[in-house]
Structure 1
């Protein structure tokens, strides 16, 4: 299953547990807890969104004023379940997380 990035799911049922540096450790989605696989590499990036009011303070732990924070992580329901790739985002001034994309299996990136 893949959600279109143009219309990300903004669900109140999405909760993200992070480490002190803001890296996602676990995701609660659709009543299930997905644990980020420590054996996989997470991707993190930020992008500027001109539509946000940069005069106000960003949410705690976010990338900075006007920056949308993104994480792509691979997570499992249990140690023997298949990996799913979650792309998460956090908007400036928003305390919550949004699901931008979810897909089955490992994502590969070419360098």
Structure 2
């Protein structure tokens, strides 16, 4: 599955398991466990919170950093075809979203 212009992002909620070092180890998506098989890529982008929220509660902390991970995954420990998941966590959220999914 590849994201198309008709569906630019999935924004599907996912559960992410992390190593003790803080890198993704596995992703639960669509009722399946996808094991991370390659070194993930990590970066941050900035949110224009003033365009998406009318106000920000006092003392909430960081409201601008959107965290991203790009991970290559396979179903469990199988030899299934690899896929690339792009994950995103918005500021003020504890939930991870699957932003895009690409067949490799």
Whether these two folds match at TM > 0.5 is yes
State the secondary structure of the residue aligned to 2:33.
strand
Q: Is the Cα contact below 8 Å between 2:11 and 2:100 reproduced in 1? A: no
Gaps of 5+ in 2: none
Question: TM-score when scaled to structure 1?
Answer: 0.74
Shift of 1:21: 3.6
Unaligned runs of 5+ in 1: 59-64, 106-111
- State the superposition RMSD in angstroms: 2.3
Q: Could you say which structure has the higher strand fraction?
A: 2
- The 1-side partners of 2:67 and 2:99 are apart by 11
Q: Per-residue CA shift, 1:5-44, capped at 9, x if unaligned?
A: 98432334x111112343111000011100001xx22111
| Contact preservation (8 Å) 1:4, 1:101 | no
Please list every run of at least 4 consecutive aligned residues from structure 1 whose deviation after the TM superposition is greater than 4 angstroms: 4-7
What is the TM-score with the length of structure 2 in the denominator? Answer: 0.78
2:89 maps to which residue? 90
